Amino acid sequence: MVERQKVAIFGGGGFIGSNLGHRLSAAGYECTLLDLVDNKLKLRFGNAPYRFDRCDISADDDAVDAVVADHDTVIHLAAHVHPSAFMHAPLDVVQLNLFDALKVVDACARHGRRLIHFSTCEVYGKARGSAEPFNEDRSDCVLGPIGSHRWIYGCAKQLLDRIVHAHGLRGDLDYTIVRPFNFVGPLMDRLVRPTETDNPRVFAHFMSALLFRRPMQLVDGGHSRRCFTYIDDGTAAIQRILEEPVATRNQIVNIGNPANETTIRDLAHSMRAIYRREFEPAADVPIVDVDSRTFYGDGYEDCDRRVPDIGKLRALGWAPHFDLERTLVSSMRYFFTHRDALLATL
Ligand code: NAD
Ligand code: UGA
């Protein structure tokens, strides 16, 4: 590790940002965490100090430029990330995830700073039933039709990946593009009370359902498959990438756990069984079906299957350690134990 390397993390107050900022700070990096809010940082750091600067990348262009100039490495996480947002605010998704993110990319190119940019596994789109893992340099990116506007997120992220890659071709940007596969763990999204209509990602939905004794809803039969990756494995991989600037220079790198593949239906059954075994034996929550039109509205299509090829990270000595059972038990234990603080703060 380079001693006291200065790292700026845009979107550093979110799920990945708060966990990553905590890990990198503990490892001796001088981290500046930039976000609209720092409530997750307060929960993650407790009494430990951290440097937070309020920054809206959509409005504070001068601040973005100054922060980039003042740090050695920039990690860009800020984005709209919930499929419900892709469905209900598609133009906001493009604005933040593409146009505003471009300010960070351009500033890194201008100031000669290393950029670790967060793309997504959703860029790969549909597997169309194939069990072949998604490879960063060989897999096609297969998105659905324009009328299925769910794909606007993957499309915006894909275009930005292509722009970052083009900067690399021009030789004016030192970057690594990171593609996470369904991280879960402490501080992922938030718990949703029965009176709220918030629509987070699936783990937070199912955990909320169990805590509040509401039905766990399976969208379109729960047949889609995901590889859930524990956040500590994810942040360890990001630290590895940070510490390997030469090997990861101008590369795209998947982060995920291919061994943790499950259907969403099996995820619901696993979480319910774990909840009863570990936390509240009497909890009896139904698992029900809902069609995607009712759950998300018109224009939803799903990624059927996303399995990462993690050969690049394995070659750097990283491997995931949390199997699916441990991933779920650890994540659920955090939400169960901290539920009062989470509900009061987020
Ligand atoms: P998150 O929603 O928890 O974090 C995003 C953060 O960006 C939030 O804290 C939010 O307040 C902040 N933000 C939003 N608008 C902003 C603005 N205008 N200025 C500054 N900050 C702003 O999401 P996350 O799960 O931590 O994801 C982080 C990144 O990783 C995203 O780019 C996402 O697309 C990517 N990603 C995450 C996963 C995953 O498994 N969590 C998977 C694939 C890709
Ligand atoms: C999301 C977004 O693409 C990004 O935030 C990110 O790239 C990715 O998560 C990720 O975490 O890697 P997705 O996996 O579709 O993608 O998001 P979820 O909302 O967690 O949905 C997973 C699956 O569960 C989908 O099939 C969805 O239809 C289903 N689902 C969701 C349910 O069956 N019930 C629910 O209550 C919520």
List of domains in the chain: 6-266+289-345 (3.40.50.720)
Mutate to test the pocket of ligand 1, among 54, 77, 93 (most ligand atoms within 8 A of CB): 77
| φ, ψ dihedrals at 114, nearest 5° | -70, 135
Q: Give SS3 for 125.
A: strand
| CA 188 / ligand 2 centre spacing (Å) | 12
Average pLDDT estimate for 309-331: 98
**Contact assessment for residue 190 and residue 40, using Cβ atoms and an 8 Å cutoff:** no
Would the pLDDT of 102 be above 80? yes
Residues 207-223: tens digit of each pLDDT: 999 999 999 999 999 99
Whether 153 is a known active-site residue: answer yes
pLDDT of the residue at 4: 87
CB of 118 closer than 6 A to ligand 1?
A: yes
Per-residue pLDDT, averaged over 55-69, amounts to: 98
C-alpha dihedral sign at 113, 99, 180, 45: positive
Given the residues 29, 153, 230, 300, the one annotated as active site: 153
220-233 pLDDT, tens per residue?
A: 999 999 999 999 99
Q: Which ligand is nearest to the CA of 52?
A: 1
Is pLDDT above 60 for 2?
no
Average pLDDT over residues 61-69: 98
User: Among 162, 42, 47, 49, which Cα is nearest to 98's?
Assistant: 162
Tell whether ligand 1 has an atom less than 6 A from the beta carbon of residue 93: no
Return the ligand number nearest the Cα of 17.
1
Tell whether the model's pLDDT for residue 88 goes beyond 60.
yes
pLDDT category at 131 given cuts 50, 70, 90 is confident
Residue holding tokens 């729960």? 222
Burial of 15 (0-12, 13-18, 19+ CB in 10 A): buried
First to last CA, the chain: 34
Check pocket membership of 35 for ligand 1, CB cut-off 6 A: yes
Band of pLDDT at residue 129, cut at 50, 70 and 90: confident
User: What pLDDT is stored for residue 298 in this prediction?
Assistant: 97
Which pTM was predicted? 0.98
Any ligand 1 atom below 6 A from CB of 192: no
What's the average model confidence in pLDDT over 328-336? 98
Mean pLDDT of 153-182: 98
* Contacts with 145 (C-beta within 8 Å, 6 or more apart), sequence order: none
- C-alpha distances out from residue 29 to 73, 125, 242, 291, 304, Å: 11, 35, 10, 46, 38
Q: Is the pLDDT of residue 175 over 90?
A: yes
Q: Please, where are the H alpha helices in the chain?
A: 15-26, 39-45, 61-69, 83-88, 90-94, 101-111, 152-170, 202-211, 231-242, 264-278, 292-296, 311-315, 324-337, 339-345
Q: Which atom of ligand 1 is nearest to the CA of 76?
A: 32
- Tell me the pLDDT tens digit for each residue of 299-319: 999 999 999 999 999 999 999
Query: Residue 3's pLDDT is what?
Result: 61
Average pLDDT over residues 327-336: 98
Which runs of consecutive H residues, i.e. helices, occur in 56-187? Answer: 61-69, 83-88, 90-94, 101-111, 152-170
Average pLDDT over residues 188-214: 97
pLDDT value at residue 291: 98
Query: Distance, CA 201 to ligand 2 centroid (Å)?
Result: 5
Mutate to test the pocket of ligand 2, among 96, 152, 160, 202 (most ligand atoms within 8 A of CB): 202
